[in-house]
Amino acid sequence: MTTQTVDQAAAAAARATPQRIAHRVRGLSDRAIAWLFISPTILLLLAINIFPLLWTVYLSFTNFRANQPGREFKWVGTRNYERLLGSEDIWGYMQATAHFVVWTMAIQIILGLGLALLINRAFRGSGFWTTLILIPMMLSPAVVGTFWTYLYQPQTGIFSYILNVFHNFGPIDMIGSVSLAPWAIVIVDTWMWTPYIMLLCLAGLRSIPDYLYEAAEIDRANWLQKFWYITLPRVLPFLMLAVLFRGIENFKMFDLVVELTSGGPGSTTELASINLKREAFEKWRTGYSSAFAIILFVTVFGLGNIYVKALKRVTS
């Protein structure tokens, strides 16, 4: 479209606009018009995001119970926070969460990057293998959790069977054993979400221009040097982004672990979010669970901010 036709179209639009509205719009600054357009979104965000957050902060200082809406509730000051921070159990849930997040991230980074490096090579059927590897992350966590409970079944599960091929361990109770259950959930999450890390790493690998490797060849760099000085720095922003997404997701992990272990044995795999749900919607301690939610929010928000700053430094 030429400049002339654009002008003509604008003029036609202006003519079509009723005089009074045209005057009104003309009287508004660009900034005002911008506010006019985004205000519905801002109002919606305030209503469904900011207000609940502020309301949760308020509730965290009360003894409110959502299952007793008619009952008067009292301001209890910092009592909920004191109980939380003084509770041995809460630190147990946080430790279980930390174990889960740290190990899933560490293993998934290594495996995801490794798979991406393999898939990135041109070979016959690479598309098929890529699709096959991606299947686990397309499944519902509830489905994955349920069928892995069968795979982990000590007597009839295939997991125990395969391990017993290598050595006669006897029935291996992955879910019922205190020492194995934390690893059982790490394994399943790794199986499900490593493809996601791989996918992002693959995007990073495919964005590296060939001439960098060609230059490295000319400089007689070995494969380790090429990986260390070209591949890793170029993939790192993608990898860090993947870790950010998965880290946040795993910090609030619920469905997969509930299906697998229900937080057991005992409280061995009771992650913070599982306990939060129990406090909020099974015990109905709304005030207390609000305080716990705020603590978790501040933790994720704080760690997320630190991480994003690091990410910016890497990308710059």
* Residues 234-273 as x/- pattern, contact with other proteins by CB under 8 A: ------------------------x--xxxxxxxx-----
Does 182 engage in binding with other proteins (CB under 8 A)? no
CA distance 315 to 244: 14
Choose between 140 and 207: whose C-beta lies nearer to other proteins.
140
One of 176, 182, 237, 304 touching other proteins (CB under 8 A): 176
Long-range contacts of 154-162 (CB under 8 A, 24+ apart): none
Count of residues that interact with other proteins, criterion CB under 8 A? 34
Stretch that binds other proteins, among 63-71, 184-192, 209-217, 299-307 (CB under 8 A): 63-71
CB 192 → other proteins: shortest distance, Å? 21
Q: Which amino acid is residue 213, in one-letter code?
A: Y
Residue 265 near residue 176, CB atoms below 8 Å: yes
CB 261 → other proteins: shortest distance, Å? 7
CB 271 → other proteins: shortest distance, Å? 14
Residue 265 near residue 40, CB atoms below 8 Å: no
* Residues 267-286 as x/- pattern, contact with other proteins by CB under 8 A: xx---------x--xxxxx-
Stretch that binds other proteins, among 11-19, 150-158, 190-198, 202-210 (CB under 8 A): 150-158
CB-count exposure of residue 288 (10 Å: 0-12, 13-18, 19+): buried
Buried b (16+ CB within 10 A) or exposed e, 188-200: bbbbbbbbbbbbb
CB 39 → other proteins: shortest distance, Å? 32
Choose between 68 and 305: whose C-beta lies nearer to other proteins.
68
Nearest to 52, CA basis, from 278, 249, 290, 298: 290
Helix (H, G, I), strand (E, B), or coil: what is residue 25? helix
CA distance 105 to 107: 6
Choose between 65 and 234: whose C-beta lies nearer to other proteins.
65
Based on its alpha-carbon atoms, the radius of gyration of the chain, rounded to whole angstroms, reads 27
Q: How far is CA 266 from CA 76, 89, 234, 262, 308, in A?
A: 31, 11, 44, 9, 36
Residue 76 near residue 61, CB atoms below 8 Å: yes
One of 8, 17, 39, 68 touching other proteins (CB under 8 A): 68
Choose between 120 and 275: whose C-beta lies nearer to other proteins.
275
Residue 216 near residue 128, CB atoms below 8 Å: no
Does 316 engage in binding with other proteins (CB under 8 A)? no
Choose between 201 and 259: whose C-beta lies nearer to other proteins.
259
Instruction: Give bridge partners of residue 62 from the DSSP assignment.
Output: 75
Does 63 engage in binding with other proteins (CB under 8 A)? yes
CA distance 154 to 172: 5
CB 159 → other proteins: shortest distance, Å? 11
CB 291 → other proteins: shortest distance, Å? 13
- What are the residues binding other proteins (CB under 8 A)? 63, 66-70, 83, 89, 152-155, 170-171, 173, 175-178, 258, 261-268, 278, 281-285
